Structure 1
Amino acid sequence: MTRPKKRFQQLIEEIDRTPWGPAEQALVSEAVALAIEIGDEQLEYQARMRQTASANMGGATDVMLNSFAWCLAHHDADPQRFPADLDNGGADLMWQFKWMASALRSSPAFSTEQITAVLDDMESHYRTAGLGLSGVLTARFEDAWDAGRIDDAEALRVQLEATPRDDHSHCDACGRSQFAGFFADTDRDDDAIRLVEEMIEGGFSCGEEPEHALSRVLLPYLRAGRFDEAKSAHLRSYRLAKDNPDNLRIVANNIVFAAVTGNEARALALIERHIAWLAHDGLNVDAHFAALSAFAVALDRVTAAGHGGTPVRGADAAALVPLFGAHSGPWSAQDLAAASWAAAERIGAAFDQRDETSGHARSLERMRALAAEQYDVPIRSDAFVAAPAANTPQDAEGWFERASELAQYGAEHETLAALPRALEVEDAAKRAQLQSMRIGILVALDRADEAAALLSARIEALREAGLDAQADLESRLGLATFGLNTPDATEMLEHELAASDSLPAWSRGDLALSRASLHLREDEPAAALDLAEQAARHFAEAADPRLSNTTTLLALSAVLNTGDMDAASVLLERFLAQDDLGIGHRARALQTRARMRGGSEQFAEGAADADEACRLLAGLGATTALGSAHLLAGALWEDAGEPEQAVARYRVAARFAEQDGGDATAVNFRLARGMLSAGDAEEAAELFGTVLEREEQSDVPAGSRAMTASMLARALAASGEYGQSVGAYGYAAELFGEAEQLADQAMAMLERAKILARFDEHEDAIEQLESAAEIVRKDPEAVGTLADVLHNLGQAYGGQQDDRAFALFDEVASLAQQHDAGWLLADVTDSRGRALGAFGRIDEAVAAALTAADAFSALGDEGSAGGSELFAARLLSGSERAADAVPLYRAALERGTQIPPLRQVSALELGDVLEQLGRDGEAAEVRALIES
């Protein structure tokens, strides 16, 4: 068993290498508790110093205040035993002082005198310790700004800029962000943007930067007409901020952005996602004020867009009652907007009363003034789903038709919802039909007890309609004719079928259809098809086109299960050509044809069928069915190479899933993938991040999470977020390894290495590739991945003049020859030439490059062929063999006839070479080709 002090040291080491978050907070709490148990105040000081920082980053203000007060008291009593700086790379006690005044200012429960006392105490400690006053001036500036004393804040800002920086000044990221926020708040948008862009270009970052700074310039960017920069800043800011409840202000800024840019559905989604954060930190009331005013602005926009009645999920949580007040039922957007304004006004008034200013009232005025601002910056990850364009039936007969059509399609839940009003019809035969639908659906939903309780009503309706033979049959069979799949039910069906000659045609058809359905469920398509044909003849004799068509659809399923696609296609086309099809049957048949067309790679045609099915289902009000129909349409449009069309369908499918309380994670993965294909990489990255978060919360298998993480990495790289992409690829590789998907693990490491090499991190890139090669060699089936990894590793070795490159190129060439991969063979030959060039082996390099060019040309890839020739020409020209380079430049120039970039570069460089050779006329002729 580990001794307590040794365990404590292990905890401290683990805390110092664990990122901020729940895991780190748990470690800190354990360390504090263990130090108290040991009874060693010096150990407790080490733990509590870390606890102050952890609580600051996690938004636990009460913990932070208590922890800091404990540490400061012990430091003041004995600075030697309890030094201000533990030299652990974290914030020291004097740095933490800056958080205290801000924490007190964030709640009106603390008086101005208390805040002033902390600021004065801070300055006294700084002077006693011989520290510069930059940190103190920063705290006083923040205090004046937050209190609404703008003139004082401006004077302090000027003084702060003139004060030399020291170890307790804000870092470059935080300092620029803070002043940018002040400039934006005082209508100096250009200065705000300048500071943030300096920060981004300099690569400055910190605990909540650059996400806070980016959120502060969203409105300035919009007002400057720089919509693309605003959108990118929003997506990046929100993606970085969305997982930490202490970032409530940042999220609030992003909600306002969504509201004023026409993205009301997104604004509502963000409110629903983060409204619970209002209860996270009871002392950070100023952040509540910012969030509530942002919610109010956004919900007013949602109402103005015609969706004021939309329920706001999560708003009725008990923890939020102190803010919004008691409310009966779910909060609508319109009602919650009013409650948010009221709460913000109440909180703002409390702050202004304490501060004896009108700072918060001014902030509310600025927020209300946003009603006059509107910008068009579409973001497509969220959208309102319009209610299906269905006419509401006006009487029981209309509801009977609606229920029948829904049942024909197979929309079980919508059919059940329509049945109560439909059952008011006077016609007993129709009531019997409706009861049959209800019983069949309940059996299908494994609610057999409920179904059995309805049999008497069904039989009574049959007798009232004069259908005594059917009533007698169902009295004997019970639920057997409604899909109950038990040995007894099957035996009874078989018995009745054998003795059915005396029954009416309709009853004979019903028995045959019931038994055919069971055969189909038991994967006996031939038997199902035989009985379906019998049922069809009986229903035709009974003149019941509805059940004749139902039977045809079952027969179609049976034919599909046999794998005879040609026969299925003929049957389906004949079925769709009928003029007696109901809407439900047509929609079901169109969806079937859509899937068949997808299977035969007629993706666009299948997508059109799926779209038409969506239109028909919308007319029936089949919202649950519509979600899956749009998902099918999206998948087919995606396969058809039309990501824009796919995104539109996936977005609707996702929203329907969310509205029905279902899990939209799988749909959102497809939506994000479609966005990435459509070029919306930043939006895709945000959505992939959300999908990954939900998968982790749901304990999705490692392999699935790995796929999401790798897609997230791709989207981040396409967004220019290379640092985060490297991290995401690393995480994907870990997950693929956990899932023992070796080829995928190696590919994730390969992509990670490519990014590292792009930023000249060659040693790290080579280390990744070497590990990837070792991993992928364990999978004998992953020949393509092995070739990719070895080829890239060879190129990396070649770039570092490591002759191990050539053995790898030989191995890749051998794999290419074994598998008739002609283009790969040409490409690795080109790589060999470039590596030889790096070694200064010019003749060998030129020979390899020209061999590659010939191979590329034989495969019809003139661009790559010209690239190899251009490389060879450059080698010769750089080796003082300009005359030898000329014909190679001309060959590349000729290949570039249909490739403008190759033609332009070749002509430009050839002109320079000819001029060096004194062939000025030829040089002029070649250069003229650039302009032509």
Structure 2
Amino acid sequence: MTGYATRIRSLFDEIDNTPWGPQEQALVAQAVALAQESGDERLEYEARLRQTSSANMGGDTDLMLTSFAWCLAHHDADPERFPAEVDGAGDVLWQYKWMASALGNSPEFPSEQIAAVLDDMEAHYQRAGVGPSGVLMARFEDAWAAGRIDEATELQRTLEATPRDDYSHCDACVRSQFAGFFIETGREEDAIRLVGEMIENGFSCGEEPEHALARILLPYLHAGMLDEARTAHLRSYRLAKDNPDNLAIVAKNVVFCAVTGNEARALALVERHLPWLVHDGLDADGHGTALGAFALALDAVAAAGHPELTVRGSDAENLVPVFGEHDGPWRVDDLATAAWAAAGSIADAFDRRNGTDAHTRNLERLREIGTERYDVPIRSHDFSTVIAAAPVLTREDRVARAVALAHAGSSAAIDPLRDLLTDADPAERVTLSSHLLGGLVATDRIDEAEAFLPERLAILRAAGHAEQADLEDRLGLILFGKDLAEAGDALRAEAAAAVGAPPAVRADLVATLAVAKMYEGSFAEARDDAREGVRLFLEAGDAVRAQGVRLLAVDAAASASLFDDARADLDALLSEPISDGRRARALAAKARLHGVAEEFAEGAAAADEAVRLLLSLGADDLRVGEAFVLAGALHEDAGAASLAAGRYRSAVERFESAGAPTADPRYRLGRAMISAGMPEEAVDALHQVLSDETAAEVPAGSRAITVGLLARAYEGARDFGNAVGAWGFAADLHEEAGEAEGQAFALVAQGRHLGNFGEYDDSVIALDTAIALIAGREEQIGLHAEALHLLAQAKMQRGDEDAFDVIDQALTLGRANEAHWYVADVLDTRARLLAARQRTDEAVATALQAADGFAQAGDAGSGAGSELLAARLLVGAERAADAVPLYRAAIEHATTSENEPLRQQAALELGDVYDGLGRHGDAAEVRATTSA
């Protein structure tokens, strides 16, 4: 094999084991280029077969058509050398099915060309001896898309009567397509049935089941199946959201959000997927569908009271051909108008090409759908609390606002500070230039800061502050926060030499040294220096700068665990007139101190007020987002998970606007949503976290934590199948990270679910592995005990001879650690195992031991279950009279609402026992207790 061939074959192996997406597309492009360079057309044929499939899955229609045409030409010219199917690479006849659809998706291609492609496809299939199913499906899809409904209806009926063959569409695609057609032609019940069969049987393929789930959303709503619609939306969008080729699927999910009261989520989806409108230049059909959906959603946002909101990302230059020129981001209401117009233009173009009015009618139908309303709350998004900044009319107001933003540490201060410097008086220029340099350094705009420093020095000298200018000339940007971690010695030397300097100069030096000592970890010394800085600024008559250093003293005291001192200083500062920016920082510090003292509700209130102040000032998104995270964390610690989720949602939106990473606030959001009873929404959030972490190549151990939380979300959503997979993935990641305890925890969780599914062999493997990882580890006794109990149950179900040995190990471990409830629970399992082995007397005695153990542990309800087991065993052994008191005990002890089903069942069974004993009055009496 030549060097080229070896490299290309190696690439083929890598491509075939890489999921669809950018990485796979890059590998395919590399393989094609290498094959062209080698001059080996057979290798190029195999590479291009892969490229056609890759382009189809990635939504690159132009590349797909080009690649397919090349392959078809070579196949037609020499079918021996270029066979229709190459194992592992693709099948040109199968790929033919995508061509007519691709041409039909753009009005640039005339109907005659589409018809010719379909005829050519049929001819190729006939020559190859392939059945008609694939061609019929392609003709059906073309007729439906063009609006030739009678023809499509006849073709659909023909397809149902046509035997399937190797080139038929898969079961998932057929059901999805037929469901979509039935919906459009008024047969929603049939569509619901088809999609239900598809989901129940687990049919899937490249874009299924997400497409079918998106199609069925409105029929579910019309049928009153609101819970099913909600679940279908969350799953459909989760599966579709990362592939631009799924634009039409996303569009249907956007419509769902718009008509179900989830306008904030609809807006977020529109903002996220606006770039997809220019992804595939030949998918005009998808673009028209999305534009109509986006317009409908924006109308809903406006109707919900937010027409004036700006749509993030709408000012992107590449969207100008779609919406037209516009100055800055579009308002919601204006973009809705532009989107409807763009959708209408696309519909007109299709209808002219097709000679029907199908696209125009679909758009009209969409507008009608926009008037429908259903109550299906999805609490994943909300409109951020935006407080409009007070109008700034005077120059004095503008200065106060800019300085307050600087006091808040917001980068939003930089531009207004620059503007204000142009006509400021000398004293004002000193203050403004200081804040400007501090802001530039804080935002790592060091080059700009270096360039401005000479002007700052000139400002100081012009205002009569020569010694301050000399100091800043010597230290450069250190006084403004640059490289303070390494600047301690230089600052100490300057401070020692500045004994006779003016108080303001010494105050600046000692305050900056305090920050440097914070970096060094000398927090108590930093607090003392900060307090000296406060004294010196007050001596210099600068109370405003003294307030800033007082905040530094608070931070240093808190870092030194001098919490009482920090609280006292903060309370004193907050009682004085200070800028809103400084007050926001002080409140955030107070919130953190409340958190340290476990006064979480008070801390959350302080953090919320800090957020309000930052919003009223118009602080930058990153600063506001950080404040929302702090508020969310304190609400979460206070047990107010729903309030925490709201804050975290806002933080995510702010970080997205700032272009900052969102994995941390999204993780927190997912965790809060689980606690707040929103597991489905949590799955959505945590999937995005995992996607971001995978793309960023976050270490396996960190990803394992995310996947474990995702598994919990699946459990909360009662999606136990995905929970099993997630726990398995978490275990693999923990193993990769060398974290045995984390791996064991995940395996125990997975083993529990596998046992519940009846997959006892896999459950035993998972649990055995977990036990081997943690056996003998004192700190993991609880997990070890749980694993032993689950293993005993799985082995019992398999009929393993050593099930008793495992149960006895569990009992020994529980008794040694005085885990009374656990021992009772294991005894209940032992009783069931004895019963399965026909050892009835021992089983009854053990069940009663378990009941006594539960009672001693304060859980009479669980004891009732053991008593019911013992009663049933006695009935089965024809000792009905002996069972009566046990039934009575079970009924008496099953007193809580969660045990009500057990009480009802015990009462019904006791009634039957009484009848068998001839005690019919007692039977009637006990049955009467079940009718309440």
TM-score tier, shorter chain, comes to 0.7 to 0.9
CA gap of 1:400–1:286, structure 2 versus 1, over 3 A, is closer
Deviation at 1:609, TM superposition (A): 1.9
CA gap of 1:425–1:913, structure 2 versus 1, over 3 A, is farther
Alpha-carbon distance in structure 1 between the residues aligned to 2:618 and 2:500:
42
Deviation at 1:654, TM superposition (A): 1.3
Deviation at 1:459, TM superposition (A): 2.4
Please list the CA deviations of residues 436-463 of structure 1 after superposition, one character each: whole Å capped at 9, or x if unmatched.
4344445555646357435435524643
Deviation at 1:251, TM superposition (A): 1.4
Alpha-carbon distance in structure 2 between the residues aligned to 1:931 and 1:602:
48
1:597 to 585, 588, 594: 594
Q: What SS is found at the alignment partner of 1:930?
A: coil
Once the two structures are overlaid, the 10-residue window that deviates more, 787-796 or 467-476, is 467-476
Please list the CA deviations of residues 893-924 of structure 1 after superposition, one character each: whole Å capped at 9, or x if unmatched.
22222354243333233333333333333333
CA gap of 1:850–1:288, structure 2 versus 1, over 3 A, is same
Deviation at 1:575, TM superposition (A): 4.8
Q: CA RMSD in A?
A: 4.0
Deviation at 1:146, TM superposition (A): 0.9
Once the two structures are overlaid, the 10-residue window that deviates more, 63-72 or 155-164, is 63-72
Aligned to 2:738: 740
Please list the CA deviations of residues 783-829 of structure 1 after superposition, one character each: whole Å capped at 9, or x if unmatched.
43333333322221122121333333344444445555443333333
Q: Is residue 670 of structure 2 the alignment partner of residue 675 of structure 1? A: no
Once the two structures are overlaid, the 10-residue window that deviates more, 374-383 or 636-645, is 374-383
- In the alignment, is the contact (CA less than 8 A) between 2:724 and 2:754 conserved in 1? yes
Alpha-carbon distance in structure 1 between the residues aligned to 2:437 and 2:217:
57
Alpha-carbon distance in structure 2 between the residues aligned to 1:377 and 1:663:
30
Which aligned pairs between 1:632-643 and structure 2 lie closer than 5 A? 632-643=630-641
Letter in 2 for 1:358: D
CA gap of 1:407–1:30, structure 2 versus 1, over 3 A, is closer
Alpha-carbon distance in structure 2 between the residues aligned to 1:658 and 1:544:
39
Aligned to 1:287: 286
Q: What SS is found at the alignment partner of 1:593?
A: helix
Once the two structures are overlaid, the 10-residue window that deviates more, 806-815 or 232-241, is 806-815
Deviation at 1:75, TM superposition (A): 6.6
CA gap of 1:461–1:115, structure 2 versus 1, over 3 A, is same
Aligned to 1:199: 198
CA gap of 1:762–1:599, structure 2 versus 1, over 3 A, is same
CA gap of 1:889–1:331, structure 2 versus 1, over 3 A, is same
Alpha-carbon distance in structure 2 between the residues aligned to 1:4 and 1:838:
65
Structure 2 alignment gaps of length 5 or more: none
1:709 to 707, 710, 718: 707
Once the two structures are overlaid, the 10-residue window that deviates more, 612-621 or 157-166, is 157-166
Q: TM-score, normalised by structure 2?
A: 0.87
Which aligned pairs between 1:651-800 and structure 2 lie closer than 5 A? 651-777=649-775, 781-800=779-798
CA gap of 1:818–1:460, structure 2 versus 1, over 3 A, is farther
Aligned to 1:176: 175
Using the aligned pairs only, state the percent identity.
Answer: 53
Aligned to 1:491: 492
Alpha-carbon distance in structure 2 between the residues aligned to 1:554 and 1:690:
37
- In the alignment, is the contact (CA less than 8 A) between 1:397 and 1:422 conserved in 2? no
2:617 to 608, 613, 620: 620
Please list the CA deviations of residues 33-61 of structure 1 after superposition, one character each: whole Å capped at 9, or x if unmatched.
88889998888777666655554434344
Which aligned pairs between 1:780-859 and structure 2 lie closer than 5 A? 781-859=779-857
1:607 to 604, 607, 613: 604
Alpha-carbon distance in structure 2 between the residues aligned to 1:86 and 1:688:
39
Alpha-carbon distance in structure 2 between the residues aligned to 1:279 and 1:255:
18
- In the alignment, is the contact (CA less than 8 A) between 2:311 and 2:332 conserved in 1? yes
Alpha-carbon distance in structure 2 between the residues aligned to 1:180 and 1:53:
25
Alpha-carbon distance in structure 1 between the residues aligned to 2:77 and 2:433:
83
- In the alignment, is the contact (CA less than 8 A) between 1:403 and 1:419 conserved in 2? yes
Alpha-carbon distance in structure 2 between the residues aligned to 1:108 and 1:73:
25
CA gap of 1:119–1:42, structure 2 versus 1, over 3 A, is same
CA gap of 1:915–1:359, structure 2 versus 1, over 3 A, is same
- In the alignment, is the contact (CA less than 8 A) between 2:731 and 2:744 conserved in 1? yes
- In the alignment, is the contact (CA less than 8 A) between 2:515 and 2:526 conserved in 1? yes
Once the two structures are overlaid, the 10-residue window that deviates more, 159-168 or 137-146, is 159-168
Q: Is residue 268 of structure 2 the alignment partner of residue 232 of structure 1? A: no
- In the alignment, is the contact (CA less than 8 A) between 1:275 and 1:315 conserved in 2? no
Aligned to 1:270: 269
CA gap of 1:843–1:358, structure 2 versus 1, over 3 A, is same
CA gap of 1:781–1:670, structure 2 versus 1, over 3 A, is same
CA gap of 1:29–1:621, structure 2 versus 1, over 3 A, is closer
Alpha-carbon distance in structure 2 between the residues aligned to 1:27 and 1:766:
40
Please list the CA deviations of residues 211-260 of structure 1 after superposition, one character each: whole Å capped at 9, or x if unmatched.
11121122333444544333322211111112223222211222232334
Once the two structures are overlaid, the 10-residue window that deviates more, 111-120 or 331-340, is 331-340
Aligned to 1:894: 892
- In the alignment, is the contact (CA less than 8 A) between 1:8 and 1:35 conserved in 2? yes
Which aligned pairs between 1:314-463 and structure 2 lie closer than 5 A? 316-318=316-318, 323=322, 336-337=335-336, 339-408=338-407, 410-420=408-418, 423=421, 429-442=427-440, 447=446, 449=450, 452-460=453-461, 462-463=463-464
- In the alignment, is the contact (CA less than 8 A) between 1:141 and 1:157 conserved in 2? yes
Letter in 2 for 1:449: E
Q: Is residue 141 of structure 2 the alignment partner of residue 142 of structure 1? A: yes
Aligned to 2:117: 118
CA gap of 1:535–1:19, structure 2 versus 1, over 3 A, is closer
Letter in 1 for 2:770: A
Q: Is residue 155 of structure 2 the alignment partner of residue 156 of structure 1? A: yes
Aligned to 2:528: 530
- In the alignment, is the contact (CA less than 8 A) between 1:772 and 1:789 conserved in 2? yes
Once the two structures are overlaid, the 10-residue window that deviates more, 23-32 or 899-908, is 23-32
Q: What SS is found at the alignment partner of 1:897?
A: coil
CA gap of 1:29–1:783, structure 2 versus 1, over 3 A, is farther
Deviation at 1:515, TM superposition (A): 4.3
Please list the CA deviations of residues 119-143 of structure 1 after superposition, one character each: whole Å capped at 9, or x if unmatched.
3344455556666544433322212
CA gap of 1:84–1:618, structure 2 versus 1, over 3 A, is closer
Deviation at 1:290, TM superposition (A): 2.2
Alpha-carbon distance in structure 2 between the residues aligned to 1:104 and 1:442:
53
Which aligned pairs between 1:27-176 and structure 2 lie closer than 5 A? 52-62=52-62, 64-65=64-65, 95-124=94-123, 133-163=132-162, 165=164, 168-176=167-175
Please list the CA deviations of residues 847-884 of structure 1 after superposition, one character each: whole Å capped at 9, or x if unmatched.
43333333332222223333333333333333433333
Alpha-carbon distance in structure 1 between the residues aligned to 2:102 and 2:573:
71
Alpha-carbon distance in structure 2 between the residues aligned to 1:424 and 1:314:
33
Which aligned pairs between 1:303-314 and structure 2 lie closer than 5 A? 305-307=305-307, 310-313=310-313
CA gap of 1:323–1:613, structure 2 versus 1, over 3 A, is closer
Q: Is residue 584 of structure 2 the alignment partner of residue 587 of structure 1? A: yes
- In the alignment, is the contact (CA less than 8 A) between 2:308 and 2:333 conserved in 1? yes
Letter in 1 for 2:598: E
Aligned to 1:912: 912
Letter in 1 for 2:918: G
- In the alignment, is the contact (CA less than 8 A) between 1:316 and 1:327 conserved in 2? no
Alpha-carbon distance in structure 2 between the residues aligned to 1:483 and 1:770:
56
Which aligned pairs between 1:252-263 and structure 2 lie closer than 5 A? 252-263=251-262
Deviation at 1:667, TM superposition (A): 1.0
Deviation at 1:79, TM superposition (A): 7.4
Letter in 2 for 1:735: L
Deviation at 1:745, TM superposition (A): 2.0
- In the alignment, is the contact (CA less than 8 A) between 1:312 and 1:332 conserved in 2? no
